[in-house]
Amino acid sequence: MFAYGTLMSGFARHRLLAGAATLLGEARVTAQLLDLRDYPGLVPGPGSVRGELYRLHGREVLDPIDREEGYNFERRLTTVTRADGRRARAWIYWYRGPRTRALPIPEGDWRSRWR
């Protein structure tokens, strides 16, 4: 699983991964990151989005995350690039909701909004 927002360590929804997944390290994906006020959304586009790569301890971990993410997000397998340059396939939640109030995050890093 590639976490790029509130599922990352230090954020509210990380509780869904804590104890249910192992952090493998930082990773990046080619996409655009949007600021949707309380959380980010990942959409296709140019740029690089920074996040954390996790190994899930079982597929059952996905059900509560799917419910939490809601209908505006779609989970898809996507290729990410690990910090060491190796590629991996990971589940990513892609945003498919309205973008009327969305603001681009050009640096592609949700954490930069909270420093």
CB 33 within 8 Å of CB 108: yes
pLDDT of residue 65: 97
Residue 41 lies in a domain: yes
List the structure tokens of 95.
Answer: 């945003």
Listed in sequence order, the residues at least 6 apart from 82 whose beta carbon sits closer than 8 Å to its beta carbon are 24, 25, 26, 27, 53, 88
Global pTM value? 0.94
Residue 109 lies in a domain: no
CB 27 within 8 Å of CB 52: yes
pLDDT of residue 44: 96
Digitized pLDDT (tens) for each residue of the chain, 115 residues in all: 999 999 999 999 999 999 999 999 999 999 999 999 889 999 999 999 999 999 999 999 999 999 999 999 999 999 999 999 999 999 999 999 999 989 999 999 999 876 6
The total of structural domains in the chain comes to 1
Q: How far apart are CA 46 and CA 94, in angstroms?
A: 15
**Which stretch of DSSP H or E encloses residue 66?**
helix 62-69
At which residue do the structure tokens 């996905």 appear? Answer: 62
pLDDT of residue 115: 60
CATH of the domain at 38: 3.10.490.10
Q: What is the span of the domain harbouring residue 84?
A: 2-104
**What phi and psi, each to the nearest 5 degrees, are found at residue 68?**
-65, -40
Residue 110 lies in a domain: no
CB 102 within 8 Å of CB 36: yes
